[in-house]
Amino acid sequence: MTRAVVVGSGPNGLAAALTLAKAGVDVEVLEAADTPGGGTRSSELTLPGLVHDECSGFHPLAVDTPFSREFDLAAYGLTWRWPEIQYAHPLDDGRGAAALRSVEDTAALLGPDRRAWSLVFGPLTERFGSITADFLRPMVRVPSHPFALARFGVFAALPASVLVRAWSTPEARALYGGVAAHALRPLTTLMSSAIGVALATAAHAYGWPVAEGGSAAISRAMIRGLETLGGKVVTGVRVESLAQLDEADVVMLDVAPRAAVQIAGDAMPHAVRRALTRYRHGPGVFKIDFAIDGEVPWRHEPSRRAGTVHVIGDYDELAHAEREVARGHLPARPFVLVGQQYLADPTRATGSHRPLYAYAHVPAGFTGDATAQIEAQIERFAPGFRDRILARHVRTTQQLQQYNPNYVAGDVVTGANSARQLVFRPRPAFNPYAVGIPAVYLCSAATPPGAGAHGMCGYNAAQTALARL
């Protein structure tokens, strides 16, 4: 029987493991941490009974994919829960904007920008199923839906600072800017629209759901599925070298590219080793999980009903903050993402005590403390917030990397979302999962289609391995 070892139990490692196991391969997943799941772990970080998502919180791109269609994780206990409002962006004077499931309902709240929001996101939402079929795999392949993909590509190729001119009101500009900031790139760079356009469209097509009971439910369901197929996960084993895996016929590496070089570099062709060593990481995040009493008192009422709240002033303030972070400075007013998962999933809270998720974009490897800036940003739009804090759990960029080595210098998306790395990650190659060693593949978020707890990198990499087998 063919034997595979998967190094790392993040969603991509587990998706690769499931895909191989379903094809009859004997699969073992080796995980360095004591708890499996990588970026999908959740735990009681602050007070007993409050479940915090340690990394991934919202899963618009995991709901309907080739992987989710092949592996019904609901059968193994995964339940998606949707907030009433997918994401919101409060502004200083109590105004703001909110994204709902329906394009039309969202547009209707944007006054003079109603038509422009519908024109950009209406057709994309209608064809999003065809578009994701192409962008959830390597971009070097011939698209199966070229016309739908071309429409997406026209917007995705633009700098966010150009696409934002489609809207004139501060509300619509901020609503789009907040979602574009997920790229963790200066908004003037080429293709800085790509991730924002995908996530904004996904909010309309699929919503931004959370996993009931915490994101750990995603990896729990994957592990249950794997076990029913005969595979297993072993925790507390850090793989340092391919020599540890000499009995494996196939090796899948759910690790960052430079870690792959440390593990397997001696056997890699020089060009591959050099390309993976040169892979670039992006800025970091500084994360605080709060326990709060009651709710966040947002002045902008729809933000009280939103799963995700993008916390910064208008588009210009956001653009300035993202530019500063890329230059290596922490802005006085950074971009802060607040997650209110308990609105969609009350099982994570106890009584009036709730787990609140917040992180700021900070420079790569930032060594300072961004707690004051994060709390000041939230307090600015939700006066009285500080009085509701019961406890905090803080992770700096270095602590994030200690928690998960794939988050190099706090880069939680495992690689800079530059135009080059959006198209060719981790290196220009027809098979981006191959590392130049027979039967050894990279399958982490450093490969296409990139970051997110959707498992598609692992699924695609395993298909490649199976094709060779």
C-beta of residue 273 within 8 angstroms of C-beta of residue 440 = no
Those residues whose C-beta lies under 8 Å from the C-beta of residue 146, and which sit 6 or more positions away, are none
Choice between 63 and 162, CB closer to ligand FAD: 63
Q: Which of 65, 404, 418, 421 binds ligand FAD (CB under 6 A)?
A: 404
C-beta of residue 286 within 8 angstroms of C-beta of residue 410 = yes
Token code pair at residue 269: 């062709």
- Confirm or reject binding of residue 8 to ligand FAD (CB under 6 A): yes
- Confirm or reject binding of residue 365 to ligand FAD (CB under 6 A): no
Cα 323 to its chain centre, rounded Å, is 21
- Confirm or reject binding of residue 331 to ligand FAD (CB under 6 A): no
- Confirm or reject binding of residue 232 to ligand FAD (CB under 6 A): no
Q: State the Cα–Cα distance between residues 294 and 309, nearest whole angstrom.
A: 17
- Confirm or reject binding of residue 359 to ligand FAD (CB under 6 A): yes
- Closest approach, Cβ 432 to ligand FAD, in A, equals 14
Choice between 171 and 396, CB closer to ligand FAD: 396
- Closest approach, Cβ 245 to ligand FAD, in A, equals 10
- Confirm or reject binding of residue 239 to ligand FAD (CB under 6 A): yes
Those residues whose C-beta lies under 8 Å from the C-beta of residue 204, and which sit 6 or more positions away, are 99, 101, 102, 103, 106, 121, 125, 128
Please give the sequence-ordered ranges of beta strands (E in DSSP) within 36-178, or none if there are none: 42-43, 52-53, 80-81, 85-90, 96-99
Scanning 225-233, 321-329, 365-373, 399-407 for contacts with ligand FAD by CB under 6 A, the matching segment is: 399-407
What is the total count of residues that contact ligand FAD (CB under 6 A)?
40
In the window 275-314, what residues touch ligand FAD (CB under 6 A)?
285, 287
- Closest approach, Cβ 249 to ligand FAD, in A, equals 19
- Confirm or reject binding of residue 184 to ligand FAD (CB under 6 A): no
Q: State the Cα–Cα distance between residues 298 and 309, nearest whole angstrom.
A: 10
Q: State the Cα–Cα distance between residues 158 and 194, nearest whole angstrom.
A: 8
Scanning 83-91, 133-141, 360-368, 449-457 for contacts with ligand FAD by CB under 6 A, the matching segment is: 449-457
- Confirm or reject binding of residue 259 to ligand FAD (CB under 6 A): yes
In the window 14-53, what residues touch ligand FAD (CB under 6 A)?
30-33, 38-40
* Residue 22: its H or E element: helix 11-22
C-beta of residue 33 within 8 angstroms of C-beta of residue 254 = no
Residues in contact with ligand FAD by CB under 6 A are 7-13, 30-33, 38-40, 55-59, 238-239, 254-255, 259, 285, 287, 359, 404-407, 412-414, 444-445, 451-453, 457
